[in-house]
């Protein structure tokens, strides 16, 4: 099996910037505070995770990084079995230009004769060796990438010398390669979600064995990081953003969710590529037929917005992919490119702000939970031409379209990321703020309790354990939203609500009354008749059939949507669906109007700040009453900041 070469794949195939303001200059939403407003503003500490002491690899905490975001850039080369210019690279990037203090290398340093001396120099300079890359399953030698078995002695040497400044071998982009190339070759490709998960697990078990089952850093290209971190081998999880890759906000919703579930910090790389070229300064504006130059690749605007967003996400490490310098300057006369200038400026800003506590802890009041075995991923992406697939093989079921609908409400146009020349979708407007974590159903009760709102965003496998966990979440003060299709999988229902009989069919143009709002559904839909306590509230109904029921249990509230999965009962698209550049992707099973209405109310109840329509907003809490806000205009036209 040959690997996906992203550069070849890309070849085939906005104005704004981060703004900062204290809350005093932004209008706060004047919604009365209720118990559902909870502010969890503690940084991730891997030592506090219940499984930390049992894991073969213990992830580094913020203390390793001096409680401030560190910067990655550049790497070490090998020539004639010698690692060259280690001191010079560190001096140039760290001291002379103030660009980076974390560096990477390719796998051939493991076989270099002077590895011990290089590790000693890295330690002496107080730098980090953040990953060793180049492992590609199924790839032969050549081009710096291959499948190999990492020798144990060099790994032991690096770990002994660098300690927590050594962050591990690199599992780079393998979830995307698995979904795009490996999964379709498995038989039967139509195996159910559980079997698909086992196939994924076996594939990465081999990768972990080859990399020595020691420290590993993850760079995901889709959203399968939860399955990797569960293995207990990872020091960091992150992704490249821009390029041909998914929406950064949703990317990091999954990455943060995985990190919080399994006690692993996150990091970020901003790529200078897009599907049509990449940024390079100086020299010829082409490279093996792939266009490059100052105006190619991701825009400087996008790269800047991504950088400051990812710092505000509380990434422990950030860095641009490449292109820090003009390449045609004489030796010793290095000149920073605009990429280098932006890296230098963002590092200086972080140093000026001070510790991460002084910047603030990102607030994520909303959690969206998917089933552990769902294997859901983005409707369209770089690694496959197939659309609306889970595990790379399985067409979305209704639960998958519910996931898409919920996430599209939170991050509109996320599915367009990388498909538009104007960079639509890489960062979306965030109508409820950029403050969502995506969890899997194995998330434990102590983590769920940190979120005032939990939405079951797909089809749960179900069972007594998840039922009791969700009931405990509500009784403890949480606000849970679930559809009837997942409620049906919980033995005995939840908080006194359960399905009473088979679903009823409603025709297109049927009205649903939600309070004072009358919503006429455009498409046919189903509603499950529900059994519920007499004290429950019918929040929406169609005729005599409840469409949404709310019930209080303990200190919290359960909202049950009677639709199986909140989407239309039949496809709204006639004929095949295609994915084309600069065109939207048709959605055959959109959310029902009354479902959107219910979710809109739940999401708006968690909005702490408003800045105006069409902008994205990240809120970080510094201390009671003091916040850092990151505000981005992600369009190509001016927008008002209100």
Which pLDDT band holds residue 288 (cuts at 50, 70, 90)? low
Helices marked H in 393-491 = 398-410, 445-448, 464-475, 484-487
Q: What does the alpha-carbon distance between residue 620 and residue 642 come to, in Å, rounded to a whole number?
A: 19
Element (H, E) at 440: strand 436-440
For residue 152, what is the enclosing H or E element?
helix 152-162
Q: Which helix (H) or strand (E) holds 87?
A: helix 86-90
- Which residues in 452-592 belong to E strands, given as ranges? 453-456, 479-483, 498-499, 504-506, 511-514, 517-520, 525-527, 530-531, 537-542, 545-553, 556-561
Q: What is the dihedral of CA 366, 372, 375, 379, to 10 degrees?
A: -20
* Half-sphere exposure (Cβ direction) of 158: Cα atoms closer than 13 Å: 29
Averaged pLDDT score across all residues of the chain: 92
Give the DSSP letter of residue 563: S
Number of residues that make up the chain: 642
Which of 73, 269, 258, 85 lies closest to 172 in space, CA to CA?
Answer: 269
Is pLDDT of 57 > 90? yes
| Continuous H helices in 523-627 | 593-604
| Mean pLDDT, residues 238-265 | 98
Give tens-digit pLDDT for 476-499.
999 999 999 999 999 999 999 999
Q: pLDDT confidence of 141, banded at 50, 70, 90?
A: confident
128 — pLDDT class (breaks 50, 70, 90) = very high
Q: With a cut of 50, say whether residue 33 has pLDDT above it.
A: no
Whether the CB-CB separation of 327 and 283 falls below 8 Å is answered with yes
pLDDT of 181-222, one tens digit each? Answer: 999 999 999 999 999 999 999 999 999 999 999 999 999 999
Task: Identify the pLDDT of residue 561.
Answer: 98
Confidence (pLDDT) at 286 = 62
| Residue 251: φ, ψ to 5° | -45, -55
Lowest mean pLDDT among 229-238, 241-250, 280-289, 391-400: 280-289
Q: What is the DSSP letter of 272?
A: S
**d(C-alpha 268, C-alpha 154), whole Å:** 27
Which pLDDT tens digit goes with each residue over 337-377? 999 999 999 999 999 999 999 999 999 999 999 999 999 99
Position 294 pLDDT exceeds 50 = yes
Which is it for the CA torsion 246, 247, 253, 255, positive or negative? positive
Which whole number is the average pLDDT over 405-410?
Answer: 98
Helix (H) or strand (E) holding 236: strand 234-241
Q: Quick one: what percent of the chain has pLDDT higher than 70?
A: 93
pLDDT at 34 over 70: no
138: pLDDT strictly greater than 90: no
């Amino acid at each position: 099996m040959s690997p996906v070469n992203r550069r070849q794949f890309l070849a085939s195939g906005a104005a704004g910037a981060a703004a900062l303001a204290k809350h005093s200059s932004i209008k706060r939403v004047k919604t009365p505070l209720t118990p559902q407003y909870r502010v969890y503003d503690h940084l991730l500490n891997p030592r506090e995770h219940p499984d930390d002491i049992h894991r073969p690899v213990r992830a580094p905490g913020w203390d390793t990084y001096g409680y401030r975001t560190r910067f990655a850039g550049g790497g070490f080369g090998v020539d004639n079995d010698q690692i060259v210019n280690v001191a010079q690279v560190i001096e140039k990037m760290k001291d002379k230009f103030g660009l980076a203090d974390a560096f990477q290398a390719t796998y051939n340093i493991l076989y270099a004769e002077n590895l011990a001396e290089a590790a000693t120099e890295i330690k002496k300079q107080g730098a980090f060796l953040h990953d060793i890359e180049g492992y590609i399953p199924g790839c032969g030698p050549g081009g710096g990438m291959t499948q190999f078995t990492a020798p144990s002695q060099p790994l032991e040497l690096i770990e002994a010398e660098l300690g927590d400044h050594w962050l591990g071998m690199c599992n780079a982009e393998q979830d995307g390669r698995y979904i795009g190339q490996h999964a379709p070759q498995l038989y039967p490709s139509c195996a159910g979600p559980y079997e698909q998960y086992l196939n994924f697990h076996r594939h990465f078990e081999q990768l972990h064995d080859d990399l020595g089952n020691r420290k590993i850093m993850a760079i995901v290209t889709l959203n399968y990081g939860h399955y990797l971190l569960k293995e207990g081998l990872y020091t960091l999880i992150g992704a490249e953003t821009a390029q041909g890759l998914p929406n950064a906000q949703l990317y990091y919703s999954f990455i943060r969710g995985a990190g919080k579930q399994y006690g692993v910090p996150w990091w970020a790389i901003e790529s200078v590529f897009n599907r049509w070229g990449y940024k390079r300064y100086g020299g010829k504006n082409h490279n093996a037929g792939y266009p490059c130059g100052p105006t190619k690749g991701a825009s400087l605007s996008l790269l800047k917005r991504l950088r400051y967003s990812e710092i505000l996400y509380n990434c422990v490490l950030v860095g641009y992919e490449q292109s820090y310098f003009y390449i045609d300057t004489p030796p010793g006369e290095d000149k920073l490119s605009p990429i280098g200038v932006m890296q230098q400026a963002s590092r200086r800003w972080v140093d000026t702000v001070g510790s991460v506590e002084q910047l603030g802890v990102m607030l994520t009041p909303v959690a969206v939970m998917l089933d552990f075995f769902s294997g859901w991923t983005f409707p369209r992406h770089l690694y496959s031409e197939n659309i609306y697939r889970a595990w790379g093989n399985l067409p979305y079921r209704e639960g998958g379209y519910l996931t898409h609908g919920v996430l599209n409400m939170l991050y509109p146009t996320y599915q367009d990321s990388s498909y538009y020349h104007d960079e639509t979708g890489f960062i979306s407007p965030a109508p409820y703020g950029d403050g969502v974590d995506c969890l899997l159903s194995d998330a434990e009760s102590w983590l769920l309790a940190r979120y005032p709102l939990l939405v079951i965003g797909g089809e749960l496998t179900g069972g007594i354990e998840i039922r009791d966990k969700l009931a405990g979440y509500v009784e403890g003060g949480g606000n849970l939203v679930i559809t009837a299709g997942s409620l049906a999988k919980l033995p005995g229902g939840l908080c006194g609500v359960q399905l009473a009989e088979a679903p009823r069919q409603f025709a297109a143009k049927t009205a649903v009354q939600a309070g004072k709002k009358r919503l006429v559904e455009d498409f046919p839909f189903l509603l499950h008749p529900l059994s519920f306590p007499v004290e429950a509230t019918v929040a929406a109904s169609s005729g005599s059939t409840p469409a949404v029921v709310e019930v209080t249990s303990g200190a919290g509230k359960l909202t049950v949507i009677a639709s199986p999965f909140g989407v239309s009962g039949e496809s709204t698209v006639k004929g095949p669906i295609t994915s084309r550049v600069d065109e939207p992707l048709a959605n055959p099973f959109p959310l029902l109007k009354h479902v959107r209405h219910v979710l809109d109310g739940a999401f708006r109840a968690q909005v702490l700040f408003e800045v105006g329509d069409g902008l994205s907003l990240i809120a970080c809490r510094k201390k009671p009453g003091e916040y850092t806000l990151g505000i981005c205009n992600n369009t190509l036209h001016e927008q008002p900041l209100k």
